[in-house]
Amino acid sequence: MVSHSAIAAVAGVLAVLPAVPAAAAPATSLGCPTAANATSTVAREPTWSHHWLAADRLAPHTGAGITVAVVDTGVNVTHPQLAGRVLAGYDVIRDRAGATVDHTGHGTAVASIIAARPMPNVALLGLAPGVRILPVRVSDCARTVLDRDVDPAHLAEGIRWAADHGARVVNVSLAVPKNHSGLRAAVAHALRRGVVVVAATGDARTSPTSYPAAYPGVIAVGALDEAGNVAGISTTMDLVAPGDEVLAAAPRAGHIVWSGTDAAAPVVSATAALVRAALPKATVDEVRARLTNTATPIANGPGAVDPYRALRDMLASPTPVPQVVMDLRQPDRPGSPWPARAGPWAALLGAGAVLVLTLLWLRSRWRTAGGR
């Protein structure tokens, strides 16, 4: 079953990355644990979710030209796989520009699932490595989805700021357990501005509802594990995505293995960004319909997002799109004198040749008989 442990507690380091410049030590007066610093290693082998999503099939789609806001704990701009992908952003807590420092690693992990750039012999690859990440810090201490350190007013301000500063997709892998009028208004503001809002649903065992996932118009995401189990608040979920043993960026360099609906939400956000890049005029409702209509059916929950089908089935249809079976046969070779599609014609020509030869043989026999 999918685990919802805190990101600071999950493990996962597998091989060695070249040394990276040391970052300044995070402040210790924040009242919350800081992220682990032993992060100079990198995963070489992918997890099941990498194979399930098959990001390599998405080329040439990368989400280029789309800005995705990560409303979270900030994003470490120096991580090797995020360098050059992260904008300055905004720190809601301190009311100042810049959110490129991440004290817990939560926002950095989220951003990497969306936009980590490929590197040789490195397993982690973001689903939309061409997007720009707009970090918006709304908490310094959040380590899980439903974290009591998240102020709903800060969360609301972060969503509103992102919508007003170029975000086409907003990812919220944090939540609060109670409805908040300012948060609802911020979500409505973002939707009016044509911004797709994606939110993790959290763990049903800790709260019966989570916000902003429960608000109308938000794409609420649950987590799927390799066995097909679904975790999340079932009354809220619109989609599920891989959320167990997910590779993500560690706070400074290297990787962690992460589980939870907060790891699943950025998979959906990245897919939304890919669709927005491919269909720039698509509305929020059309993007949402595409993601849900092309999702893979799951027995015990809503559909599982399918980035490949969301891009391949270029339809903004309000009705579900039939499942597509990939044709893995080799295509006809260019210039070949006998392509596969010539088979029926070859058979017809062969039958004609047999008929002509038979007639000639009969004529020859007739002449021979007449000569006697």
pLDDT computed for residue 143 by the predictor: 57
pLDDT computed for residue 203 by the predictor: 74
Are 259 and 4 contacting, i.e. CB atoms less than 8 angstroms apart?
yes
d(CA 230, CA 204): 11
350 compared with 259, residue with greater pLDDT: 259
Domain ranges for the chain, please list them.
7-312, 340-371
d(CA 136, CA 281): 26
pLDDT computed for residue 353 by the predictor: 63
Highest mean pLDDT among 47-61, 182-196, 228-242: 182-196
Asked whether the predicted pLDDT for residue 316 surpasses 60, the reply is no
Lowest model confidence (mean pLDDT) among 101-115, 150-164, 208-222, 312-326: 312-326
Task: Of 77, 73, 90, give the one whose Cα is nearest residue 145.
Answer: 73
Asked whether the predicted pLDDT for residue 219 surpasses 50, the reply is yes
Instruction: Say which residues have a Cβ less than 8 Å from residue 359's Cβ, sequence separation at least 6.
Output: none
pLDDT band at 351 (very low <50, low <70, confident <90, very high): low
- pLDDT tens column, 284-300: 999 999 999 999 998 87
d(CA 200, CA 43): 25
Asked whether the predicted pLDDT for residue 206 surpasses 70, the reply is no
d(CA 272, CA 345): 46
User: Residue type at 148?
Assistant: R
Dihedral over alpha carbons 268, 174, 90, 12 (to 10 degrees)? -80
Beta strands at 196-200 and 219-224: parallel, antiparallel or unpaired: parallel
pLDDT computed for residue 188 by the predictor: 98
DSSP state of 162: H
Neighbours of 1 (CB within 10 A): 11
DSSP state of 65: T
Model confidence, pTM: 0.75
pLDDT computed for residue 2 by the predictor: 45
pLDDT computed for residue 301 by the predictor: 81
Lowest model confidence (mean pLDDT) among 112-121, 142-151, 162-171: 142-151
pLDDT band at 37 (very low <50, low <70, confident <90, very high): very low
Beta strands at 301-304 and 296-298: parallel, antiparallel or unpaired: antiparallel
Dihedral over alpha carbons 229, 232, 237, 239 (to 10 degrees)? -50
Half-sphere exposure of 212 (CA within 13 A, CB side): 36
Mean per-residue pLDDT, 43-59: 80
Neighbours of 9 (CB within 10 A): 12
CATH topology of domain 7-312: Rossmann fold (3.40.50)
Neighbours of 168 (CB within 10 A): 26
Decide: residue 218, CB within 10 A, 0-12 exposed, 13-18 middle, 19+ buried: buried
Highest mean pLDDT among 21-30, 48-57, 123-132, 178-187: 178-187
- pLDDT tens column, 328-347: 223 333 333 333 444 444 45
Helix (H, G, I), strand (E, B) or coil at 167: coil
pLDDT computed for residue 147 by the predictor: 52
86 compared with 364, residue with greater pLDDT: 86
Highest mean pLDDT among 235-239, 333-337, 368-372: 235-239
Task: Of 254, 18, 35, 308, give the one whose Cα is nearest residue 124.
Answer: 254
Asked whether the predicted pLDDT for residue 237 surpasses 70, the reply is yes
